[in-house]
Structure 1
Amino acid sequence: MTRQIAVITAGLSEPSSTRLLADRLADATRTALAVRGEQVEVDVVELRPLAHAAVDATLTGFTSGPLTEALDTVARADGVIAVTPTFQASYSGLFKSFLDVFTIDHADALRGTPVLLGATAGTARHSLVLESAMRPLFSYLGALTVPTAVFAASEDWGAAGQADRTAGELASRIDRAAGELAGLVTGRPVRATTEDDGFGEVVDFATLLSR
């Protein structure tokens, strides 16, 4: 069976450091799962194109199209990587809007699901966003957050033309967090690819009358 990893990335620019961190975490997780003999499929949920749909869903309580597909992707995942830019010492409004909409149809879908947390910002002063804002949010949703969260400031990527600094401390933290996520994912049963509504096989009315 193939493990499903959903990557939520809330970067507002294109390209963005948020997407860069999300991709690095996804690659490291894929490697960590492969080492454990697990097949893995990674689905990236880019929130920027879903911004208007998320606002509409917040107002109406209904989702459709790509937004519904994105929500379902996260709901059926065996593990989640969630990365947001930092605004006012917290996660972005787009990130929160998506999770608010997620609870409309998938209120308990993240309960017990391993989640790796990541955040980006211009300076390291905002690194506490992971513990002060993101971890409490996912704990409220019942998710199983991995011990190591990953923060990346602009300086962690190096200036233009310089070597990527992920070969140092950031890379080590990424690998450690990915290993923890992989360990939690492999310790859980593989999720079914289709949702079970709890009612089992439907028996037609005529058959019921004949019993």
Structure 2
Amino acid sequence: MTHRVLVVTAGLTVPSSTRLLADQLAEATSAQVGARGESVEVEYVELREVAGELATFMTTGGIPTPRLTELRERVSAADGLIAVTPVFNASFSGLFKMFFDALDPDALTGTPVLVAATAGSARHSLVLDHAMRPLFAYLRAVVVPTGVFAATEDFGSHGLSDRITRAASELASLVLSQGDYGVGGFAPDLAARPRRTPGTQVESDVTPFGDLLRGHTGSDPR
């Protein structure tokens, strides 16, 4: 069985340390899934390529472009997510936040997520626990225990390699357990598996706006 892992990276330059870390995490996750006798298909989303479309989404009241609609569907269909951002002013980048603000609230329900960040200094390492984990907890994702932070001097170090391997192993375990919806040793009934939706389809039972206003005169009942 082939599993799909989506890598969302918010690096702004080419090349970027953010994309470099994302590549290392994706490769390690593929290796960990392969070691368990399964295969994985890795897809990338470079947020700088859709920065203008995200701005359009925000300034038009949430109307997605065709490209953004496609990305929203890819997110909700993924078996796992690797989310990597550069750090600006002690938090994730605005571009990173805009993308996850543009998702449907149910797009990541129950999805295993590996969080990672890059910065020029180790002083920013708390971004994983103070900013990224709360964001994905709000979206009801399942964040793996090990987050990966990489300051400039960390690249090439054994410490970073060890953290990458450990985080990838945790993500691989959760991705492979998706068939039974087993998370952290718990395996609820399949009927209880959360419903993920990209939010790109209009429900068939939407009440017409005219019906909602029927009987209202426009006067304030107070």
Q: Shorter-chain TM-score: which interval?
A: 0.7 to 0.9
Q: CA deviation at 1:190?
A: 8.4
Q: Provide the secondary structure at the position in 2 that maps to 1:118.
A: strand
Q: Within 1, Cα distance between the matches of 2:68 and 2:106?
A: 18
2:82 counterpart of 1:92: no
Instruction: Tell me the residue number matched to 1:209.
Output: none
- 1:140 matched to which residue of 2? 138
Structure 1 match to 2:207: none
Q: Which residue of 2 aligns with 1:58?
A: 58
Report the secondary structure of 2:102's partner residue.
helix
Match of 2:29 in 1: 29
1:187 match: secondary structure: helix
The question of whether the paired residues in 2 share the 8 Å contact of 1:119 and 1:152 is answered with: yes
Matched residues, number: 188
Where in structure 2 are the equivalents of 1:1-211 lying within 5 Å? 1-60=1-60, 61-102=62-103, 106-157=104-155, 165-166=156-157, 168-189=158-179
Secondary structure (helix, strand or coil) at the match of 2:55 reads: helix
Q: Contact (CA 8 Å) 1:9, 1:45: kept in 2 or not?
A: yes
Q: How far does residue 188 in structure 1 lie from its aligned partner after superposition?
A: 1.1
Give the counterpart letter for 1:133 in structure 2: A
Taking structure 1 as the reference length, the TM-score comes to 0.83
Q: TM-score, normalised by structure 2?
A: 0.79
Q: Distance in 1 between matches of 2:68 and 2:19?
A: 18
Structure-2 change in CA distance of 1:40 and 1:118 (3 Å): same
Give the root-mean-square deviation of aligned CA atoms: 2.4
Point out where structure 1 has 5 or more consecutive residues left out of the alignment.
158-164, 200-211
Indicate the percent of aligned positions where both proteins have the same amino acid. 57
